[in-house]
Amino acid sequence: MDFSITADQQALLDMAADFARNEIAPHVMQFERDEHFPRELAARMGGLGLLGGTIPEEYGGLGFGNFENCLVVEELSKYCIGVSVSFAASGLGAYPILLFGSHEQKKKYLPDIAAGKKLAAFGITESAAGSDAGSIRTTATRKGDSYVLNGVKQWITNGGEALTYSVIAKTDKTKGARGASAFVVEKDTPGFTFGKKENKLGIRASATRELVFEDCEIPAGNILGREGTGFIVAMKTFDQTRTGIAAQAVGLAQGALNETLAYAHERKTFGKAIISHQAVQHMLANMATQIEAARALTYEASRYCDSGAKDMAKYSSMAKLLSSDVCMQVTTDCVQIFGGYGYMREYPVEKMMRDAKILQIYEGTNQIQRNVIGQFLIKEVAGNKVG
Ligand SMILES: Cc1cc2nc3c(=O)[nH]c(=O)nc-3n(C[C@H](O)[C@H](O)[C@H](O)COP(=O)(O)OP(=O)(O)OC[C@H]3O[C@@H](n4cnc5c(N)ncnc54)[C@H](O)[C@@H]3O)c2cc1C
């Protein structure tokens, strides 16, 4: 379909597609087997402007919007979202600084993230606080010109690999969600260590670790925004980045469909290519239709985010929900069309199916996305704004 992509946007998309084809695709199986974190790609991606694209030119980025970011993430996700999430998570870590940092904080941290010299990460989740993020227990206690952090963040993408961390911690335990604040913490700060690399079902190239804070003292100037606004920082960040998860899902689903179309064209049963069996054709037709619908919603939601609309969260949640559900269904059906070969590690679709599952879980499970959308519907019906 024609999504009214401009010549500049098409050039960016083509560059990301070339990079993914030439620099990611040939190494996917090895990255997966060795759980290799693709650090060596960062500088090259930074040089091409594929990292931190949403960072303004003033701070070393390309200054493009959520929509262009989705175009890039979709292309990078066609072969391996373990790789693409490692770089998308750096964008997630940069967003709180971008949205709430002072000019000095932006000048200090964003150029190196955009250049790929330093990756970023974002930490809110804890062992007893995932969906229920208000229950976090990590504390940041003011001590003169410092804050002292204590607590453990769990399952943080790029944990241990990133040099710059946006972290949400409680500055006032008596105030629930309103008692949280956001901070930048640098990797080598004394009292800041990491847990072991998690052994995961999928996205095995990505690094997921605990962030451990033990009397970790950081300058008071590392706070992002004001005390008590940590959850606003987190939610405003997710409003922007959930379309990126949707783009990962659209890219991965399209990549899996491409592999499956080629296989269905080659593989013969009963004297003809399996793509000629109508039951297989129907599965492929459903997949192509669902992917196109997910892409359309993702693109429109990301453009809506770029418009700065107040209810952007409703649409970024819808895009994340639809696209990740589509991706899970599509990758599962791709394994089915590959038959027994689909279950084997030698073929790419079993990895794609394992990878797809995380898209329904991180940055808010799909149940939580439904809660977000539901809250908007309740407000709309109460205010007589139902379309
Ligand atoms: C590989 C990986 C990478 C991650 N990366 C990061 C990262 O970089 N930074 C970070 O901060 N976090 C990260 N996370 C954490 C992730 O965002 C959380 O796992 C996720 O938000 C769900 O939280 P939980 O696992 O504690 O599940 P829980 O909150 O315990 O939920 C368990 C189940 O209950 C459901 N549920 C819970 N509450 C409700 C409700 N109110 N209504 C309906 N259903 C509900 C959930 O949908 C889920 O199905 C990562 C997780 C993984 C696995």
Give me the active site residues, please: 363
Residues in contact with 331: Cβ distance below 8 Å, sequence separation at least 6, in sequence order: 252, 253, 256, 349, 352, 353, 355, 356
**pLDDT digit string, tens, across residues 205-256:** 999 999 999 999 999 999 999 999 999 999 999 999 999 999 999 999 999 9
Please tell me the distance between residue 324's alpha carbon and the centre of ligand 1 in angstroms. 15
Q: How many CA atoms lie within 13 A of 245 on its CB side?
A: 32
Find out whether the beta carbon of 154 lies less than 6 Å from any atom of ligand 1: no
Residue whose tokens read 């083509």: 14
- How far apart are alpha carbons 108 and 102 in whole angstroms? 10
Residue holding tokens 């394994």? 335
Binding site membership of 316 for ligand 1 (Cβ less than 6 Å): no
Burial of 22 (0-12, 13-18, 19+ CB in 10 A): exposed
In a 13 Å sphere around the CA of 233, the CA atoms on its Cβ side amount to 32
Burial of 184 (0-12, 13-18, 19+ CB in 10 A): buried
Q: Where would I find the H helices in the chain?
A: 7-19, 28-34, 41-48, 66-76, 81-100, 103-115, 230-266, 278-306, 312-338, 348-356, 366-382
134 Cα to the center of ligand 1, angstroms: 13
- Positive or negative, the CA dihedral 56, 57, 61, 67 is positive
Distance CA 218, CA 270 (A): 68
Closest atom of ligand 1 relative to the 89 alpha carbon: 8
pLDDT digits (tens, 9 = 90+) for 82-121: 999 999 999 999 999 999 999 999 999 999 999 999 999 9
Q: Does ligand 1 lie within 6 Å of residue 358's CB atom?
A: yes
Kindly give the confidence (pLDDT) of every residue in the chain, 387 residues in length, as a single tens digit, with 9 standing for 90 and above.
889 999 999 999 999 999 999 999 999 999 999 999 999 999 899 889 898 789 999 999 999 999 999 999 999 999 999 999 999 999 999 999 999 999 999 999 999 999 999 999 999 999 999 999 999 999 999 999 999 999 999 999 999 999 999 999 999 999 988 999 999 999 999 999 999 999 999 999 999 999 999 999 999 999 999 999 999 999 999 999 999 999 999 999 999 999 999 999 999 999 999 999 999 999 999 999 999 999 999 999 999 999 999 999 999 999 999 999 999 999 999 999 999 999 999 999 999 999 999 999 999 999 999 999 999 999 999 987 777
Spatial separation of the C-alpha atoms in residues 18 and 13, rounded to whole Å? 9
Q: Is the C-beta atom of 82 inside 6 A of ligand 1?
A: no
Under a CB-based contact definition with an 8 Å cutoff, are residues 110 and 98 in contact?
A: yes
